[in-house]
Chains A and B, each alone.
Chain A
Amino acid sequence: MRKIVVSIVLLLGFIMMVQSQTIDIKTKSSISRGKIVYEKYCLTCHQADGGGVPRMNPPIIQTTYVSGSKERLIGIVLKGLNQPIEVNGDEYENPMASHAYLSDLQIADVLTFVRNSFGNKYPAVLPSEVKVVRAKK
């Protein structure tokens, strides 16, 4: 009896481990795809280190927009942004264009990359979540 309980517990533990591993692998490949999207579509303005351009383009390092609501974050990439926002105490004067021409997967990937780079550590963004926000507009 004991043996059975122990082996069930071990098995469950193993399954959970494998599961968390697969999530990790998924996120990892999303991050590496997202890096390529970032370099092509975001890097010029937000720079290679995510530090942005003083006065013009905000940093995307631990900002409330990057760490906060995924819906708002996805919305910024889809619709762009052109209103005074304060990021870590400063305002930035340039507008950000809409990137709605990127696919759900590309947007999910680039945001997952941003949320796991430059010192950020936040959960992944999924293509299904981008799809929902895109449908709402």
Chain B
Amino acid sequence: MRISFFLFSIIMLQVSCWAQFNDVVIKTPNGFSTTNVAWDFGRVRHIVVNSNGDLYMKLEKLYNGKGIVRLRDLNKDGKMDDTLRFGNYVGTGIAIKNGYLYASSNSEVFRYKLDAQQNIVDTENPEKIITGLVDKRQHASKSITLDEAGNIYVNIGGPSNVCQEQDRQKGSKGMMPCPLLETAGGIWQFKADKLNQSYAEGIRYATGIRNCVGLDWNKEVNELFITVHGRDMLYQDYPTLYDQKRGAELPSETMYMVKKGDDCGWPYVHWDHIQHKKILNPEYGGDGNKTGVENAISPLMGFPGHMAPNALLIYTGNQFPEKYKNGAFIAFHGSWNRAPENQEGFYVVFVPMKNGKPTGNWEVFADGFSGMEKVTNLSSAKHRPCGLAQGPDGAIYVSDDVKGHVWKIQYNQ
């Protein structure tokens, strides 16, 4: 009797653990499978996987005073069984390049040397390579990526919705020219190995970018690719120009290839994927149809509004079928500015590409993170995709900053 009760409790415990770790079912195309490799690590933003399989997660809220977590599979049984915590700052960006781990706070970038065994030489004393970047709370997260020529690229989001005289104030005009663009609203390039660089040592690589949270270096064409969050409140602030549906659908979220010196047009214009045009923002005299900033570049692709593309990964692995090679995976965090319409996003999208150009339309690759059919209230979404990484075996990883789960997606033929 006792024993059966004991067994019963163990089974129940396992069932509840199973339910806890598999609280949502992730749907992927045929031939792919998904496993949960990390759970309940808190606000996990971007992630990176090292050549030996170590998974690094950057946290946006400290846990026991630490903001970076490394998970390692010591006995190579496919399960992460060792946890190392370090770094006393919150932030979003994390990357590995040429024997260093790079991580960002909301105003600085640090790097940690890795030894031959891929251990961090000194977790307590990283080199501070970039400092003094704009952090005015809004769009403060600094995403990072590195190229093949010793440079690091940092997103400095514009601390504003559309550079109004009074931010987010209905009816307030846009400032002309927008002064925020001097130190924000773009991607800055720095040297990957020089200490204490700030604006004076960096280059404003590309401008007119409201808030790029996803960025990756495309090795096939050797250029920078970014995904950008479009402006909010077209319907709420200009109901006569944008009805509820149009304000939910517009402006587009976007993916660009940016070259040195490029301008993407924020805050003066937004991309409209329905008209396929750069439309002047109403704060700058736009009427919903007038175009503007003719010298600004156009995106490679526009997506429905407000879905928040938080991570970009150009796939270079060999595990997935041929169609995925050099294509873009994008993690959409999920919208809030579509209310009172249902929210959208909460999935990972794939865009097929060759030579840095889309060869087809975008498609949902991994779905089900929110755990609901329709999300009406954002706070009830169980998980929100936020980071992407590629493992040495060619599998991809997806992180979530609600609960702090990480999923690994593999192709099994």
Q: Which residues of A contact B (CB under 8 A)?
A: 39, 43-45, 47-49, 51-57, 59, 80, 82, 84, 90, 93-98, 101
Contacts and interface: CB of A to CB of B under 8 A. Distances in A.
Interface residues of B, number: 26
Nearest to B171: A101
A44 B167 contact: no
A81 B223 CA distance: 40
Interface of A is mostly: loop
Given A43-B339, A44-B336, A57-B336, A94 B168 contact: yes
B336 A93 contact: no
B78 to A, nearest CB: 31
Interface string B271-283: 0000000000000
Contacts of A48: 339-340, 376-377
B240 to A, nearest CB: 14
A47 B166 contact: no
A98 B137 contact: no
Contact of B236 (A44, A59, A93): A44
Given A39-B340, A48-B339, A59-B379, A95 B60 contact: no
Contacts of A97: 166-170
B30 interface: no
Nearest to A82: B167
Contacts of B409: none
30 contacts: A39-B340, A43-B339, A43-B340, A44-B340, A47-B378, A47-B379, A48-B339, A48-B340, A49-B376, A49-B377, A49-B379, A51-B377, A51-B380, A52-B379, A53-B336, A54-B379, A54-B384, A54-B401, A54-B402, A57-B336, A59-B379, A82-B167, A93-B138, A94-B138, A94-B168, A95-B168, A96-B168, A97-B168, A97-B169, A101-B170
A29 B80 CA distance: 57
A54 B43 CA distance: 10
B378 A53 contact: yes
